[in-house]
Amino acid sequence: MTDTTGIQPSPRPEIAELEWSDILCALKTGWSDYRRAPGFGLVFSAVYVLGGLFLSFVSGGFVTQTLILALGFPLVAPFAAVGLYETSRRIEQGEPLKLGQIFGVVWREKDRQIPWAGAVIVLYFLFYFFLAHMIFALFMGLSVMTNVTSSLDVFLTPNGLAMIAVEFLVGGGLAFLLFALTALSLPLLVDREIDFITAMLLSLQAVRRNIALMAAWAGIIAVSVVVAMIPAYLGLFVALPVLGHATWHIYRRALIHPGEAGKALSP
Please tell me the total count of domains within the chain. Answer: 1
* Cα dihedral sign, 256-258-262-263: negative
Q: What is the pLDDT of residue 138?
A: 82
State the Cα–Cα distance between residues 46 and 226, nearest whole angstrom. Answer: 16
Measured distance CA(175)–CA(158) in Å, rounded: 25
Is residue 265 a part of any domain in this protein? no
Residue 196 is assigned to a structural domain of this protein: yes
In a domain, 113, yes or no: yes
**pLDDT mean for each 10 residues of the chain (267 residues):** 56 92 95 94 83 65 53 54 90 89 81 81 80 81 56 71 85 89 92 92 96 95 87 85 94 87 50
Within-domain flag for 50: yes
Which has the closest alpha carbon to 132: 169, 159, 91, 87?
Answer: 169
How many of the other CB atoms lie within 10 Å of CB of 69?
19
pLDDT (0 to 100) of residue 143: 58
Range of the domain at 33: 14-142+151-256
For residue 80, give Cα distances in angstroms to 12, 43, 85, 137, 140. Answer: 24, 11, 10, 32, 34
Tell me whether residue 176 is in a domain: yes
Query: Does residue 5 lie within any of the structural domains?
Result: no
Q: Would residue 3 count as lying in a domain?
A: no
Annotate 206-232 with DSSP letters as a single string: HHHHTHHHHHHHHHHHHHHHHHHHTTT
What is the model's pLDDT at position 180?
A: 94
Question: For residue 197, what pLDDT is reported?
Answer: 93
Does 166 reside within a domain?
yes
User: Quick one: pLDDT at residue 237?
Assistant: 92
